[in-house]
Amino acid sequence: MSRSASLAAERLRSTSSARRARERALEICAWASLVLALVPLVAIGIFLIGQGVRSLSLEFFTSDPPGDLSATGGGIRNAVVGTLMMTGLATLVAVPVGIALAVFSREIGGRVAAAVRFVVDVLAGLPSIVVGIFVYSLVVVATGHFSGYAGAVALAVIELPVIVVATDELLRLTDRRIDEGTRALGMLRWRSFLSVFIPTALSGIITGIMLAVSRAIGETAPLIFTALGNNFFTLDLNEPVQAMPLLIYRNALNSAFPAARDRAMGTALVLVVIVLGFNLAGRWIARRARPADQR
Amino acid sequence: MTIHRLKRLGAMGLIATVFVGACSGSGATSAPSNAPGVAPSAAQTAGAASAPDATTGGSAVTYRCGKGDGQLNGAGSTFIFPLLSKMGEDYNTKCGVKLNYQSIGSGGGIKQWTANTVDFGASDAYLKDSEIQAAAANGEPVEIPATFGAVVVAYNLQGLSAPIQMTPDIVAGIFLGTITKWNDPAIAAQNAGVNLPATDISVVHRSDGSGTTSIFTTYLTAVSPDWVTTVGGGDPTKSAGKEVEWPTGLGASGNEGVTQGINQTDGGVGYIELAYALKNNIPFATLQNKSGNFIVPSLDSVKAAADLPTYPGDLRFNLANTDSAQGYPITGTTWIIVYKDLSKVLKSQERAQALVDFLWWAIHEGQGDAAPLFYGSIPASLLAQDEAAVTSLNWGGTPLLP
Amino acid sequence: MTPGSHAGGIRTLARRPGLSQDGWFRLALRGVALLVIVPILWMMVDTFSVTVPVWERFGIPGFVVGARWAPSFTIYGALPFIYGTILTSAIAMLIAVPVAVLIALLITEILPARARTAVAVTVDLLAAIPSVVYGLWGLLVLVPFLRPFEQAVAGTLGTVIPFLAGPTPGPSYFAAGVVVSIMIVPIIAALSREVFAATPRLQREAVRALGGTRWDVIRTVVLPIGRSGVLAAIILGLARAIGETIAVTMVIGNAPKIGASIFSPGFTLASVIANEFNEANQELHPEALIALGLVLLVISVLVNGLAILIRGRFARGVGRVA
């Protein structure tokens, strides 16, 4: 391989101190980048805890907002339940469909698969607000009212491309020899995917799912025109439903009502904790699923 | 694998909630129809109050407390939100009906009301002819003035010895961008003795379709020909409205957003509803009204402006640049907007009943919530017309209020 | 397993009547694809078909290049928002890409194995934070924090370069760009990390065996092999930056004009739709907003198309399935 030969030659040519300096510079830049990226994380954490922790209590999770916004007390139960319901439904739909689409484009190939990939890429690039508009005209106008179902549909459309892209990227990186091995063994294709390719890519796929869910849980824009929001508790997805991001968006800048603002800040804290929980849980699962020979 | 088990549990949980939801939500799924007779609903709700007695305007006002589906949905003005919020809570305590109001701006409220995705809209600007046209398929609108409030010019300057006094020209100049610093001679001339700093003026206006904007720009249109020229191209219908082409400034969403915008920038200035300014301890300007008096925005000056000798029959009027000597010049009204014939837009007569009962309460006992929140209540001279408006609401021709 | 098809572990070549299991598999995949893609396409076409009157009134180039957005005058033009989207995304990418790629390299190449997961997880936490919280923190904390910096730049460079001039009200293109950059760093970093981690061990060790340093490994093996993957990560980050709505709308100042400097308030395609759609009931206003959505879609399709092109040209994958 000429690459290594030229490398060897280069090694003989250049002085080691120059290379060590380059190495050091790289390390410094990389560490600096890390610090730069973590500063906002810490700052946001401090901000949320400082603003939000005083609202947390058992009542906060078990009761709903007071009818009069300016009143203290009450909680965000309706928002927590609404978020979990809509995101759960959305994920249930998006994950199998997303993986199937990725498998489809890998397996079938050709023009049709290219077209599918194109559509998914388009979806991935769609701002969540446009998704909200689509679902508004498709579901809300058609059914005549805002609903949690519309919200769930919007979230599913948002999660889908993330899952497809992550699965696709991971399947792509599957070693060719493993693929040829399964064919040589005469394995049925669906078996190959289920038993070999997907498990190998599983950690990455699960990370992709977790990214998708994290994103969906925090989405506000598509819910503005679909779930609308509701100040009351409901389990009926056919009615407008409250969601945590909606509650935050509508109340956190509400300097007129400190009580509402405090509840929103508390909600922000809870939201981030929930999302973190999903994130970490996903990693733990991925770790358990990873075959032993990989890092 | 754990993840499959989690998913399966989640699926079962969701199916369960859907079932529960489907069963409890069935009340809202019946097609709109002329339910046979009014009698059943009257019998259902009779327990809550004494027998309906439609004496109007006197002390013998009674409330029926129709339950409907137990919830009413509304959307619109952020201006009235603090008041509607309180009213909703009080009405829930009294009648067990929940008010779900989404404060998305007057423009949004009208849009959702037109699309029939909410039971009522709330707007600080009465419907334009084009908006009435757009809603014609659903029926004729009824606009009910529910409350009055002041739009104040609030600012963020530290260390002033007194509130700033402004003439209409100053207000226009600031929002046109021709007056750019707080120590501009025009401002200084009206505020002798106040040490105005040399800070840049940072204008904040509404970015969403806003009734508050409508009130404010109606005022500016009335008092400043420059405003009409620059912003409206000479056309007063363009220089006033829920949205205008602002010559300068940042946009923010809702009264809360503008409050935030003013608060966070030294030298910031914007227009917000009085309650928002008071709750945030933001200073606001004293404005010179048509009669030449410098008026402090307050409950009294709002009432003075709102108290007209007569009101037009269709209940569409502007209070900006009031003729009243002690009236605050930027006073506004919020209308609650509903369709006259509710049979075409609501799913059941019971729900229509609940809506009308709430409105009847809102213009009577509900008005008690206004003053503590610095909103003006409906003056006696307007009440009869408001009552007529609510009484005109019907279900396929049958009046909903006995 | 159908008997007879696995004699000796090798599939028989003789055709059986009807579909083989593989055939059913492929059919099922096709079915899912159709079932999902067709409704999505139809949904898009249906929604965008309402924008026809906008194109008719202003013409396609007229609307896209139109610099004035005045719903009260029924005048609509997309340029202020296209400008805002490009400017905000450019600022975000300028900051985020080097930071994210360096972080990915740090994690896969420099950190000891034990620290990798912890650091990777910590960076990924940035992605966990919802857009609305970024917007909130951005407006209440970051914007005031950046303001003295903005004023310093505007006071010095800004007197010479109008693009960097004041006044600096706070919410601006610049503020939005900074907030968005923080949001896309974890996306680019996470995907780049996966790509770098998938570099074949063999090639990595080969360079080490020849005496190469970590930087040599990165330079000669990790980056070249991972180039298409990193590019894909960057494009995904860009797509996110272009489409970011809520955080932007809370810190960009919401002014539908082309601001004179990066410290002026502005608007992006996504944030204007969020702001105005709910109450757009002036003539042609909702249609114009959806037309903006279409413009946004076209831009993101172009961006993604570019990525695919680049990926195809430089692909030297580690191995491919199918």
The tens digit of pLDDT for each residue in B386-401 reads 999 999 998 888 888 8
Both tokens of A236, joined, read 């009926």
Does the beta carbon of B102 lie under 8 angstroms from any beta carbon of chain A? yes
The answer to whether residues C158 and C165 touch, using CB atoms and an 8 Å cutoff, is yes
User: Percent of chain B beyond pLDDT 90?
Assistant: 45
Q: Which residues of C touch B109 (CB under 8 A)?
A: 279
- Give the per-residue pLDDT at C313: 59
Which of A40-44, C44-48, C99-103, C107-111 has the weakest average pLDDT?
C44-48
- Give the per-residue pLDDT at B22: 34
Q: Which residue has the higher pLDDT, A210 or B215?
A: B215
Q: Is the pLDDT of residue C301 over 50?
A: yes
Mean pLDDT of chain C: 84
Which helix (H) or strand (E) is B339 found in, with range? strand B331-339
ipTM exceeding 0.90?
no
User: B331-339 and B141-155: which strand pairing?
Assistant: antiparallel
Q: Is the pLDDT of residue B67 over 60?
A: yes
- Give the per-residue pLDDT at C191: 83
CA distance C279 to chain A (A): 11
Chains A and C: how many Cβ contacts under 8 Å? Answer: 289
Q: Do A173 and C198 touch (CB under 8 A)?
A: yes
Chains B and C: how many Cβ contacts under 8 Å? Answer: 81
The tens digit of pLDDT for each residue in B178-195 reads 999 999 999 999 998 888
Q: Is the pLDDT of residue A22 over 50?
A: yes
DSSP secondary structure, B128-153, as one string: PHHHHHHTTTT--EEEEEEEEEEEEE
Q: Which residue has the higher pLDDT, B262 or A1?
A: B262
Give the span between the Cα atoms of B156 and B285, in whole angstroms: 11
Give the span between the Cα atoms of A217 and A242, in whole angstroms: 12
- Looking up tokens 């199937």, which residue turns up? A100
3-class DSSP state for residue B155? strand
The band of B217, judged by pLDDT with boundaries at 50, 70 and 90, is very high
The band of A228, judged by pLDDT with boundaries at 50, 70 and 90, is confident
Q: Is the pLDDT of residue C321 over 70?
A: no
Q: Which residues of C touch A3 (CB under 8 A)?
A: 220
Q: Is the pLDDT of residue A76 over 70?
A: yes
Burial profile B166-198: b = 16 or more Cβ within 10 angstroms, e = fewer: bbbbbbbbbbbeebeebebeebeebbeebeeee
The band of B287, judged by pLDDT with boundaries at 50, 70 and 90, is very high
Q: Do B25 and A238 touch (CB under 8 A)?
A: yes
Mean pLDDT of chain B: 82
Give the span between the Cα atoms of C249 and C246, in whole angstroms: 5
Average pLDDT over residues A16-21: 79
Question: What are the E-state strand segments in B177-297?
Answer: 202-206, 250-252, 268-273, 286-288, 294-295
Q: Which residue has the higher pLDDT, B188 or B209?
A: B188
- Give the per-residue pLDDT at A190: 78
Q: To 10 degrees, the CA torsion angle through C209, C211, C213, C218?
A: -50
- Give the per-residue pLDDT at A3: 72
The tens digit of pLDDT for each residue in C217-233 reads 888 888 888 888 888 88
- Tell me the CA distances in angstroms from A122 to A36, A131, B61, B140, B208, one per residue in order: 32, 11, 60, 43, 29
- Give the per-residue pLDDT at A69: 65
Q: Which chains touch A (3 or more CB pairs under 8 A)?
A: B, C
Mean pLDDT of chain A: 81
Q: Is the pLDDT of residue B24 over 80?
A: no
- Give the per-residue pLDDT at B3: 38
Cβ-based neighbours of A130, under 8 Å, separated by 6 or more: C243, C270, C273, C293, C296, C297
Please name which of B36, B84, B83, B44 lies closest in space to residue B64, comparing C-alpha atoms.
B44
The answer to whether residues B374 and B149 touch, using CB atoms and an 8 Å cutoff, is yes
- Give the per-residue pLDDT at B33: 32
Does the beta carbon of B137 lie under 8 angstroms from any beta carbon of chain A? no
The band of B281, judged by pLDDT with boundaries at 50, 70 and 90, is confident
Please name which of B205, B186, B214 lies closest in space to residue B76, comparing C-alpha atoms.
B214
The band of B102, judged by pLDDT with boundaries at 50, 70 and 90, is confident
The band of B173, judged by pLDDT with boundaries at 50, 70 and 90, is very high
The band of A294, judged by pLDDT with boundaries at 50, 70 and 90, is very low
- Give the per-residue pLDDT at B358: 94
Q: Do B104 and C171 touch (CB under 8 A)?
A: no
The answer to whether residues B199 and B157 touch, using CB atoms and an 8 Å cutoff, is yes
Q: Which residue has the higher pLDDT, A169 or C285?
A: C285
- Give the per-residue pLDDT at C213: 81
Q: Is the pLDDT of residue A14 over 70?
A: no
Give the span between the Cα atoms of B185 and B170, in whole angstroms: 10
The answer to whether residues B209 and B105 touch, using CB atoms and an 8 Å cutoff, is yes
- Give the per-residue pLDDT at B31: 32
Q: Which residue has the higher pLDDT, B44 or A171?
A: A171
- Give the per-residue pLDDT at B166: 94
- Looking up tokens 């009465």, which residue turns up? B126
Does the beta carbon of B78 lie under 8 angstroms from any beta carbon of chain A? no
- Give the per-residue pLDDT at A9: 60
